[in-house]
Amino acid sequence: MTTPAPEDIAIRRLPFESPTRDLMAGASRHEVRLHEHGMIALVDVMPRVVPEGQTADAAIVQAARVSYGAGTKHVQEDRGLIRFLMRHRHTSPFEMVEFKFHVAMPIFVARQWIRHRTANVNEYSGRYSVMPDRFYRPRPDQVCAQSKANRQGRGEPVDIGTAEQFLVYLEQAEAVYGEYERLLDQGVSRELARIALPLSVYTEWYWKCDLHNIFHFLGLRLHPDAQAEIRLYAAAMYALIQPIAPLACEAFDDYHLHAMHLSRLEIEALRSGRPLQSTNEREQAEWHAKAETLGVEPPG
């Protein structure tokens, strides 16, 4: 059998059955400015066009009802079905919604962000283009000491004298940009000249990801232990997607973002009234924090 050429294949183009609306209301982008030079902008969403009165949640419901067939007929409404899917970790229907963002952020934020390997990413290239003269600098009150409880986090603000010393240190790092420009003018290649620039310099990228994996990103990056700078981007991202898929975001709030996971050992401690059967200090500390949130006295 001969494979037909694309022009020989008959394509039916069917109209929508009811009036539709653009989920971005005709805008080219929805943008949030962050820090002095940063931003995150929603530039596209799939589905972009939905029936009037619906949101992108409709694509989640559509996919779930195809996948589960008669098994979901007892769920009478879209909200109930979406909450069922979230509750029971049926994740693939959430992959039917995708968001594309344009993001400008410091390189140290980008290097944390890129650890989420489930997105399509295209980043500004310092090999092809000159790196911009834009740097991230925190306010003095945002310069904090190393956390005593979290090895990779920060604790309370340092004294003002130390904070000012840190800002001078950043100024010195930023000063290399003048050398970067001078060496470019003298013929040094862009790919080599850039390697001495500090992590505070800004980069940017387009980042496209499905809703299931965005929820995973947000669950980690909205956590209080996440670095403050990336947490700000995560909060802005969440604000951008909530109007597009409000039912899915509500379910994510209720069952993940503001929910709590209990381990087998923690459940047994609650049931038995005995101490947590673990000698691990971190497990013990996490159990006490959960008990405090639940308003119960940890046994033992």
Residues marked active site are found at 221
| DSSP, residue by residue, 244-296 | TSHHHHHHHIIIIIT-----HHHHHHHHH-PPPS---HHHHHHHHHHHHHHT-
Buried b (16+ CB within 10 A) or exposed e, 125-153: ebeeeebeebbbbbebeebbeeeeeeeee
Whether 77 and 68 have beta carbons less than 8 Å apart is answered as: no
Question: 90: which residues sit within 8 A by CB, 6+ positions away?
Answer: 64, 68, 84
- Residue 69's identity, in one-letter code, is G
Distance CA 84, CA 26 (A): 32
Look at the block and give the residue holding tokens 């609650």. 270
